[in-house]
Amino acid sequence: MKNEALPAPIESVLLKEATGDRIRHGYFTRTGGVSEGLYRGLNVGLGSNDERENVIENRARVARWFDLPPERLATVHQVHSPDVVTVDARYDGSRPEADAMVTATPGIVIGVLSADCGPILFADPERRIVGAAHAGWKGALTGVLENTVEAMVNLGAERDAIIACLGPSISQANYEVGPEFIDRFLASNPLYEGYFVPSPKPGHAMFDLQGLTVQRLRNAGVQAESLDLCTYPDTDRFFSYRRTTHAGEPDYGRQISAIAIVEA
């Protein structure tokens, strides 16, 4: 099989220390995949124009990293919504429209795809309940983070025992936005002005999506950290929608961040 290198995900020290061998997680990079060209590496985006058999193999490699078969990797059809689905032993491989998942069922990998938006993994280590959320600006603003926490609590998690970590995503230094974007956020909460700094372009600003994401998680009552990794400049490790757009490329790949409860 071409490209025998194995996936090499990044792990959160906070999550790893808290969960031990009870829960396994990874923020996967481009390392260890079979895709080529624009999609070089571990592209798991079924919505990309990559060769479908390559995407399927890449997703299978992610599942195998968790020592699970491909059919146990659960993802959703992400639509920048605040919606969360609960996954259990009846998981049938479907991909409902939503942007977050939670589960208390061992042996299922739940994952979210990203290419600048924020991938957030959640865990209540003691009660063995996990979550994964995809939060771009729209999801973060409309409540996908808080809804993921609530869905975990509904499964039995304790809010103050939940740990959340934001993975590789676009940083403020590379996220320029226009006046309508700024107005939308300030209309929601004037205090969000603190997440913008002026850009060289008149009327525009640089937006701190990472900072907003971590603060909203903390406001939701959970422990939260960020890996402080930016997808935009790191072409070797990460796909980036904005980088692709600026380069005039026709398409882009997606990386995955995933978490699973280890079967006893």
pLDDT at 219 exceeding the cut of 90: yes
Q: Is 203 inside any structural domain?
A: no
Q: Is 1 inside any structural domain?
A: no
Q: Is 93 left (phi over 0), alpha (psi -120 to 50) or beta?
A: left
Q: What band does 213 get if pLDDT is binned at 50, 70 and 90?
A: very high
Q: Is 197 inside any structural domain?
A: no
Q: Is 5 inside any structural domain?
A: no
Give the helix/strand (H/E) hosting 120. strand 118-124
Query: 33, 47, 48: which is closest to 237 by C-alpha?
Result: 33
Q: Is 120 inside any structural domain?
A: yes
Contact residues for 11 (Cβ-Cβ < 8 A; gap 6+) = 25, 26, 27
- CATH number for the domain spanning 163: value is 3.60.140.10
pLDDT at 3 exceeding the cut of 70: no
Residue range 39-67, pLDDT digits in tens: 999 999 999 999 999 999 999 999 999 99
Q: What's the one-letter identity of residue 150?
A: E
Write down the pTM of the prediction.
Answer: 0.97
Q: Does residue 153 sit in helix, strand or coil?
A: helix
Residue-number span of the structural domain to which 104 is assigned: 13-171+208-261
Length of the chain: 264
Q: What is the pLDDT of residue 217?
A: 98
Q: Report CA torsion sign: 261, 162, 119, 30.
A: negative
Say what percent of the chain tops pLDDT 90. Answer: 97
Q: What is the pLDDT of residue 6?
A: 82
Q: Is 202 inside any structural domain?
A: no
10 Å CB burial of residue 86 (0-12, 13-18, 19+) is middle
What is the domain count for the chain? 1
pLDDT at 4 exceeding the cut of 90: no
Average pLDDT of every residue of the chain: 96
Q: What is the pLDDT of residue 264?
A: 77
Q: What band does 2 get if pLDDT is binned at 50, 70 and 90?
A: low
218-222 mean pLDDT? 98
- In whole angstroms, what is the distance from residue 111 CA to residue 121 CA? 9
Residue range 127-143, pLDDT digits in tens: 999 999 999 999 999 99
Residue range 8-31, pLDDT digits in tens: 999 999 999 999 999 999 999 999
Q: Is 236 inside any structural domain?
A: yes
Q: What share of the chain is helix, strand, coil (3-state, %, to 5)?
A: 30, 25, 45
Query: 154, 169, 182: which is closest to 230 by C-alpha?
Result: 169
Q: Is 189 inside any structural domain?
A: no
Q: What is the pLDDT of residue 178?
A: 98
Q: How far is CA 171 from its chain centroid?
A: 14
